[in-house]
Every structure is written in structure tokens, then in C-alpha cells.
Amino acid sequence: MPARGHGTLNAGDGVDEIELPGDPTITIRLRRSAAARRYLLRVSRLDGRVTLTLPRRGSKREALNFAREKAAWIRQHLTDRPCTVEALPGAQIPVEGRMRVLERAPVRRLRLEPDRLLLPAGRAGGPSAIAAFLRELARDRLRGASDHHAAALGLSFTRLTLRDTRSRWGSCSSQGALMYSWRLILAPPAVLDYVAAHEVAHLEEMNHAPAFWAVVARTCPDYATPRKWLRDHGEELHRYRFDGTTADAAAAVDTDTTAHTGDHAAR
């Protein structure tokens, strides 16, 4: 249904969309949430996807009006979206918070040096091999940090898994299983350590009440500093691509866990 030149509501393949005219036209996906209390816009820093969440009783017409009001905001954040960096020879990627040049070298396996990550020839030094190397490094660092914090608190966890998550940096299940994003290995060590302290603290407090933060402070007294780093820079860790293609999944915000972000939100 056209909206007098200000935007269009479309419904195709079961997905509702809004189109805002301009150069270029912006397509906005609509999703309805029973938990939403207001209209919420998100601009993915990964792929530029724009999503508008409607409250349960919200209307498409109101959603369209809201999107029109925020059109300048949307375009600004699309313009500010950082470019992706492919993990290829010559590129620079952060490892433990320090930028390293990806460099071909006569080595048999990947080797981390202070300012370089040396790559063997062929697929053994390709993007997927680099990702595998970083995942194993992340596993080693996160296992050590989790063991340290758990021991300090007299707690234990059942298992530790790594994923390439976009909605959160870590989680702790009621069964004591810890999950982390392997991309934490790209961040400074203090940030990785904070996330481990955060998730281990959930073994004692499965909430974010003051008692939980008191547990975090027992093993990570200066947690506010790395937590702020994640708020300010966490989304940048998703710029780096290790599959030879750009991202096709939007990042989400989870401010209740580690406050990392891949999206900006307008309320």
C-alpha cells in the first residue's frame, strides 16, 4: 500500500517490509515482538540490514511513520557503517588487542609473532585456517581465564564451547555450561578476562542484580573498564571476515549480558 510518496508497505514471501524512497531506497524489515513496548530501529553494523520491531499492538502504518521520522538517523548510521576486512595476505587483524599483518612466509603452520601472523602457502594459510588458529588460541585463553575465576570463587563449570555469536559475547547455562564468542581473542586480554569473569559469576548468580556484579568484582575488580571497551569497540571485532565473503547476518544488542553490540538502536 503506497504512503503518498513517503514510503511503501510490502508483504512478500511472508516478510513485511517498508521501503523508504531516496538515493538509495532503504528497505526495512518489520518484525513484531510481544515483549516490545515501543517501536525500535536497528541498523546492523555487519551487513547494513535495517530492522524495525513493532510492539504487539503496533500498526504497520505507525511503523511507517516512525521510520520516516528516523530516515535521517538511518541514513547516517548506514553511512558510518565500517567496512569489512577480509583475512587475506596483506590485511591487518587484531590478535589479543594488537594489530598483526597477515604475511605469507616459508613456514609449515601459522605462527604468531609480535606484529605479524605468518601464513604458510595454500589453503593451510587461507581464511578458514586463520579462523581455526584463532579459535584454538581463544579456547586456550578462555579455558585458562575461566579456570582461574572459577577456582577463585570455589565454583566449577561443566563444559566450555566456542561459537561465532553476534548477539552476545558469552553465556552460562543453568547446567553450568559456558559459551563464548571466539572473536574475544581479537580483543585486548583484559576484555577476554572480563567476559570470562562475567560468565563464571553466573555460576553463582544467574541474574544481573547487584549481588551478581559483586561476584564479578571479587575476581575482576576493574571490570568497568573492559566492559566499557566492549560497549565502545566490540562491534568492530565483527568487521573481520574469515570465510572469504561478507557477513549476511545482522548483529544484535544484548545489553543485559556483556553489552556488546553490532547494532545502533533508535528509540
Whether 3 is in a domain gets the answer: no
Domain CATH code at residue 231:
3.30.2010.10
pLDDT tens digits, residue range 184-239? 999 999 999 999 999 999 999 999 999 999 999 999 999 999 999 999 999 899 98
What residues of the chain score a pLDDT lower than 70? 1-15, 46, 244-267
Whether 93 is in a domain gets the answer: no
Q: Tell me which of 80, 113, 139 is where a domain ends.
A: 80
Whether 106 is in a domain gets the answer: no
Whether 212 is in a domain gets the answer: yes
Whether 232 is in a domain gets the answer: yes
pLDDT for 257 equals 28
pLDDT for 35 equals 87
Whether 146 is in a domain gets the answer: yes
Which residues have CB under 8 Å from 93's CB, separation 6+?
85, 87, 99, 100, 102, 117, 130, 186, 240
Residues 62 and 133 in one domain: no
Whether 74 is in a domain gets the answer: yes
pLDDT for 11 equals 39
Q: How open is the CA angle 55-35-210, to the nearest 5 degrees?
A: 135
Residues 152 and 236 in one domain: yes
Whether 47 is in a domain gets the answer: yes
pLDDT for 237 equals 94
Residues 249 and 133 in one domain: yes
User: How far is CA 121 from its chain centroid?
Assistant: 31
Q: Tell me which of 80, 95, 118 is where a domain ends.
A: 80
Residues 75 and 141 in one domain: no
Strand-pairing partners, residue 264, are: 43
pLDDT for 46 equals 66
Domain count, the chain: 2
Residues 73 and 157 in one domain: no
> Which residue segment(s) compose the domain that 14 sits in?
8-80
CB of 156 closer than 8 Å to CB of 172? no
Residues 147 and 48 in one domain: no
pLDDT for 84 equals 85
DSSP one-letter code for 81: P
Residues 74 and 130 in one domain: no
CB of 235 closer than 8 Å to CB of 14? no
pLDDT for 253 equals 28
Instruction: State whether the Cα torsion 93-233-151-131 is positive or negative.
Output: negative
Q: How far is CA 243 from CA 40, 235, 261, 267, in A?
A: 31, 18, 21, 34
pLDDT for 132 equals 97
pLDDT for 91 equals 96
Residues 71 and 131 in one domain: no
pLDDT for 244 equals 54
